[in-house]
């Protein structure tokens, strides 16, 4: 079947994206668009192992083995979403890397809010929401001293194509922009701005304003939540903040627990 066969879902232009985003001094060093792959994160992790430079971007029109956090699957029809990964090589202590997922979320939420005119919020640690429904997910993975950050954003997915009832798309939300090209450009430009500011601040999320920007659009902090932990345990309390490493703080019975993304199976609001 031709990649142009669905006129409602036109393909992305690799050449146009490179012309728009790759230039001297830019973070982005090359954008590759493929028709199909297993996982853009896995492909870029392999490239990182082979010495690929920072700023490589891989976009897949269809991802056959997409993964979310904790190995959960993430699938959308071909050319109905934005599925892409970026390769970053921050010269910072590894303790700062926990902010990269949150940074990516802040950047993407800002770009989508501006172009699509929808109220996007961030569920810690890695989801973009409209209301209580998931619009996008972010996954960061370390590879050979680099970090690969991937995103799956539902754009043209129809209601009947959504994988779960708790998901949504820009089309379902009747967003002002459903063109994947300007959306991808806007997200990558926002990521570059936030990433440079964060790197110049030596990973200090307060000094570069990242923590404040995250809290301003958080759908988690300030709410009563139930945190499901590995092994079946759970913690119910109030999400009270994000610490200096990007970890979630939950207060219950006067005691504050600090949770990393790796400690948590699910975070769900209780009210």
pLDDT at position 263 is: 81
pLDDT surpasses 60 at 5: no
pLDDT surpasses 70 at 69: no
pLDDT surpasses 70 at 71: no
pLDDT surpasses 90 at 1: no
pLDDT: which is higher, 147 or 145: 147
pLDDT at position 67 is: 58
pLDDT surpasses 60 at 8: yes
Minimum mean pLDDT among 16-20, 83-87, 90-94, 120-124: which range? 90-94
Structure tokens at 224: 């009563």
């Amino acid at each position: 079947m031709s990649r142009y066969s669905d006129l409602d879902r036109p393909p992305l232009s690799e050449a146009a994206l490179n012309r728009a985003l790759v230039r001297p001094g830019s973070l982005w060093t090359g954008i590759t668009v493929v028709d199909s792959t297993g996982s853009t994160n896995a492909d870029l992790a392999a490239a990182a192992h082979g010495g690929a430079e920072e700023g490589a971007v891989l976009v897949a029109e269809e991802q056959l083995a997409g993964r979310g956090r904790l190995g959960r699957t993430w699938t959308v029809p071909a050319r109905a979403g934005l599925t892409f990964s970026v390769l970053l090589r921050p010269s910072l202590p590894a303790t700062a890397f926990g902010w990269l997922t949150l940074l990516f979320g802040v950047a993407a939420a800002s770009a989508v809010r501006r172009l699509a005119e929808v109220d996007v919020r961030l569920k810690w640690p890695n989801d973009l929401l409209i209301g209580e429904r998931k619009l996008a997910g972010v996954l960061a993975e370390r590879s050979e001293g680099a970090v690969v950050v991937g995103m799956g954003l539902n754009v043209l997915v129809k209601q009947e194509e959504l994988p779960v009832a708790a998901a949504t798309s820009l089309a379902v939300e009747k967003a002002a922009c459903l063109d994947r090209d300007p959306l991808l450009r806007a997200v990558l430009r926002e990521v570059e701005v936030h990433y440079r500011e964060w790197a110049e601040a030596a990973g200090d999320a307060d000094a570069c304003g990242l923590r404040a920007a995250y809290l301003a659009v958080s759908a988690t902090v300030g709410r009563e939540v139930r945190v499901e932990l590995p092994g079946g345990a759970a913690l119910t309390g109030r999400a009270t903040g994000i610490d200096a490493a990007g970890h979630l703080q939950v207060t219950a019975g006067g005691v504050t627990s600090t949770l990393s993304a790796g400690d948590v199976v699910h975070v769900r609001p209780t009210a």
